[in-house]
A and B are shown apart, each in its own frame.
Chain A
Amino acid sequence: EPEVTQTPSHQVTQMGQEVILRCVPISNHLYFYWYRQILGQKVEFLVSFYNNEISEKSEIFDDQFSVERPDGSNFTLKIRSTKLEDSAMYFCASRETGGLGEAFFGQGTRLTVV
Chain B
Amino acid sequence: SQKIEQNSEALNIQEGKTATLTCNYTNYSPAYLQWYRQDPGRGPVFLLLIRENEKEKRKERLKVTFDTTLKQSLFHITASQPADSATYLCALHPGGYNKLIFGAGTRLAVHP
Cα distance A42–B46 in the bound complex, in angstroms: 16
- Is A56's CB under 8 angstroms from B97's CB? yes
A45 contacts the other chain (CB 8 A) = yes
CB B107 to nearest CB in A, in angstroms, measures 11
- Is A43's CB under 8 angstroms from B98's CB? no
Of listed B42, B43, B45, B102, residue having the most chain A CB within 10 A: B43
CB A43 to nearest CB in B, in angstroms, measures 4
A75 contacts the other chain (CB 8 A) = no
- Is B43's CB under 8 angstroms from A91's CB? yes
Interface size bracket, A side? 20 to 34
Closest to B4 in A: A42
Q: Across the interface, which residues of B come within 8 angstroms of A107, CB to CB?
A: 42-43
- Is B98's CB under 8 angstroms from A48's CB? yes
- Is B42's CB under 8 angstroms from A108's CB? yes
Cα distance A89–B38 in the bound complex, in angstroms: 13
Mask, B32-62, CB within 8 Å of A = 1, is 1010101001111110010100000000000
Q: Across the interface, which residues of A come within 8 angstroms of B105, CB to CB?
A: 42
